[in-house]
Amino acid sequence: MKLHEYQAKELLARYGLPVPEGRVAENVESGLQAADRLGYPVAIKAQVHAGGRGKAGGVQLARDRDEAREALASILGMTLRTAQTGGQGCRVRRVLVEQGVEICHEFYISILPDRASGTMMIIGSTEGGTDIEAVAARTPEKISRIHVDPFAGLQPFHIRRLAFELDLNECQEKQFFDLLRNLYRAVTENDLLLAEINPLVFTAADTFLLLDAKVEVDSSALFRHRDLAALRDDTDRDPLELEAGKYRLNYIRLDGNIGTMVNGAGLAMATMDLIKRAGAAPANFLDVGGGANAVMIEHGFRILLADPRVKAILINIFGGILRCDVLARGVVAAARATAIDMPVVVRMEGTNVEEGRRILAGSNLALVTAVDLRDAAEKIADIAGGL
C-alpha cells in the first residue's frame, strides 16, 4: 500500500527525520492560507500515488502569493500523467504546501527489502533529483548498493561506506549517521517495502532535508500497524481491483483481451502461462479462491465483463472444495444474469465433474468446453486470433 508524500513525511518525522514544514490543502483558499503562514517561497506539490510529478507540472515553486494562487489553481483538479501513473493518469485532489528550500545538492537514498539477496538494501547516489532512472540506466556506477543483513541490522561500517561512496564531507557525514539509522528503523519497524527519498537535499543552511518521500507499506503487515492502515487512500486504485476486493476476489489487471477466472493462485498463474504460450494474452489475473461459491463466480463474471477490453473468457476450475456442479450452476446463472455476449471456454475437472458438464450442456448457452488445460488455452487463443 502506497502512502502519500505528506503521510510518508509525517511518519518519517516521528523517527526524528528532518522534513520541511508543510500543510495539506484541498482548495486554493486553504492552500493560500497555508502558504501565507509558511512564508514565501513555497513548493506546491500534487499528492498522488505516483512519482515523476516534477516533470509533469505536479510540483511548482511559488515566490509570492500570486504565483502560489496560480500554481494551486493549475495543480488542484489537474489530471497528472507521469511515467508512473499509467495512461489514464491521476486526478489531483490534494496538494502539499511546503516551505521553499534552497538546495545545495540533491542526493538519492532508498531502503527496501531485496528479495533476491535476502537483505535490506540501501541504495544511494550523488545524482538525486528527477532523473534517477536515467542515471541508473546510463551511469550505473553512480548508484551505490549496500546490503544489510536483516538479523544483524544496520552497522556503523555500512553507513561509513555509503558516506564514503557519496563523498560526504565531515559535517554531512555526522548528520548522515543519525539520518540513515532513523530511516532504517522507520523501514523495519513499520514493515515498509520501500522508503525512497529523492531528493535528499543538503541545504544552504548546512543540513539534510527529506524533500520528497515515497513510502510503500507491506499490505500483509497492516494488521499490526493500525495507524498505517488508516492512511489508505483508494482513489488512485483500479476500480475493478477495488470492486474485486469487496468480494474477496483476487484480481489484478493485465494488458491482454482474454478474461480469465480460475480457482487457486498457482493454477491461475499456470493458466496465464499457457494462454501466453498459445499466442494470446490474458486481460487479468482472477483467482476466485479454493472455497468459491456460485455468488462469487457471478461477481467474478461481472468484473470480467465490466472491462471493455475483454473479448473472450476462459474459465479454468479444478473442483476440490468448490464442486464442479456448483461452479457450473454459478457459470450458467452468471451468464444468464449478465447476458454474456462473447465466447466462453470452460475447462473443468474434479469433484462432480460429470454433473457439472451436464449442467453446462443443458444450459443452451454457447459455451465451449475443453478437455484439458492445454486444449482450453489453444481454443481461447484460436478464438482470440479470429477476433
Which residues within the stretch 51-110 sit at the binding site for ligand GDP (CB under 6 A)? 51-54, 59, 61, 98, 100-101, 103, 106
What is the contact mask toward Mn ion in residues 177 to 206, using x (rule: CB under 5 A)? ---------------------x--------
Active-site positions read 108, 196
Residue 43 touches ligand GDP, criterion: CB under 6 A? yes
Question: Choosing among Mn ion, ligand GDP, none, which partner's interface includes residue 12 (Cβ < 5 to 8 Å by kind)?
Answer: none
Q: Looking only at residues 116 through 145 of this chain, which bind ligand GDP when binding is defined by CB under 6 A?
A: 129-130
Looking at the Cβ atoms of 198 and 260, the one nearer to Mn ion is 198
Between 200 and 377, name the residue whose CB sits nearer to ligand GDP: 200
Choices 70-78, 207-215, 304-312, 324-332 (CB under 5 A): range interacting with Mn ion:
207-215
Taking a C-beta distance cutoff of 8 angstroms, is the pair 296, 319 a contact? no
State which residue, 92 or 288, has the beta carbon closest to ligand GDP: 92
CB closer to Mn ion out of 212 and 378:
212
Rounded to whole angstroms, what are the CA distances from 214 to 168, 196, 333, 338? 23, 5, 45, 41
Under 8 Å CB-to-CB from 43, ≥6 apart: which residues? 20, 59, 60, 61, 62, 97, 98, 99, 100, 101
287 binding Mn ion? (CB under 5 A)? no
Nearest approach in angstroms of CB 109 to Mn ion is 11
User: Nine-digit cell at 294?
Assistant: 456460485
Binds 154: which of Mn ion, ligand GDP, none (CB < 5-8 Å by kind): none
Q: At what angle do helices 294-305 and 239-246 cross, to 10 degrees?
A: 170
Q: Which is nearer to Mn ion, 125 or 198 (CB)?
A: 198
Instruction: Give the nearest distance from C-beta 274 to ligand GDP in angstroms.
Output: 39
Contact of 273 with 246, CB cutoff 8 Å: no
Q: What radius of gyration, in Å, describes the C-alpha atoms of the chain?
A: 26
Distances in whole angstroms, Cα of residue 302 to Cα of each of 201, 247, 332, 338, 342: 49, 12, 13, 7, 13
Read out DSSP for 152-217?
Answer: T---HHHHHHHHHHTT--HHHHHHHHHHHHHHHHHHHHTTEEEEEEEEEEEETTS-EEE---EEEE
Q: Does 45 bind ligand GDP (CB under 6 A)?
A: yes
Q: Does 212 bind Mn ion (CB under 5 A)?
A: yes
Kindly state whether residue 110 participates in binding Mn ion, applying the rule CB under 5 A. no
Buried b (16+ CB within 10 A) or exposed e, 69-79: bebbeebbebe
Taking the complex as a whole, the smallest distance from the CB of residue 46 to ligand GDP amounts, in Å, to 8
22 binds ligand GDP (CB under 6 A): no
Least distance from ligand GDP to the Cβ atom of residue 127, Å: 11
Per-residue string for binding with ligand GDP, 207-236, x by CB under 6 A? Answer: ----xx------------------------
The entry of Mn ion, ligand GDP, none that residue 103 binds, CB within 5 to 8 Å by partner kind: ligand GDP
According to DSSP H, which parts of the chain are helical? Answer: 5-13, 28-38, 65-75, 132-138, 156-165, 170-189, 226-229, 239-246, 265-277, 294-305, 324-337, 353-361, 373-385
Count, residues near ligand GDP per rule CB under 6 A: 19
- Cα separation, 5 vs 16, whole angstroms: 17
User: Is 202 in contact with 192 (CB distance < 8 Å)?
Assistant: no
Chain residues in the site for ligand GDP (CB under 6 A): 43, 45, 51-54, 59, 61, 98, 100-101, 103, 106, 129-130, 198-199, 211-212
Q: Interface with Mn ion by CB under 5 A: which residues?
A: 198, 212
